[in-house]
Amino acid sequence: MLKRLAVVLSGLALALGGAVTLAPAVQATPQGCFYHVLERHPGADTAVVERACLLGAEGSPEAVQACYFEMRKDYIPAQLAHEACRRASQR
């Protein structure tokens, strides 16, 4: 009985560890970029943020820069824009 419990608990720990490992990758999308900005800067224009995040999703340095400048046009703080655009570009 004790061995079975140990095996079950070990399997559960491995399963939860895998879910935690994958969690950051789930957020690395244009959608994650969009919600990252809106959670921290609720007054942002959603159309501008969406357009910027989609620009950054391509992943090239130029795309990330275009995303950043698009957000800065809407006065989104520089650090937030940078983090969000990097988030959009990661796959």
4-28 pLDDT, tens digit each: 645 554 554 554 454 444 444 445 6
Kindly report, residue by residue over 24-63, the tens digit of the pLDDT.
Answer: 444 568 899 999 999 999 999 999 999 999 999 998 999 9
Beta strands in 1-91 (DSSP E): none
How far apart are alpha carbons 13 and 21 in whole angstroms?
12
**Contact present, 53 and 84 (Cβ < 8 Å):** yes
Q: Would you say residue 9 lies in a domain?
A: no
Structural domain range at position 30? 26-89
Q: Would you say residue 76 lies in a domain?
A: yes
Q: Would you say residue 83 lies in a domain?
A: yes
How many domains does the chain fold into?
A: 1
Q: 75 in the Ramachandran plot: left (φ > 0), alpha (ψ -120 to 50) or beta?
A: left
Q: Would you say residue 85 lies in a domain?
A: yes
Q: Would you say residue 21 lies in a domain?
A: no
Q: Would you say residue 82 lies in a domain?
A: yes
Which residues neighbour 43 within 8 Å (Cβ) at sequence distance 6 or greater?
A: none
pLDDT over 90 at 89, yes or no:
no
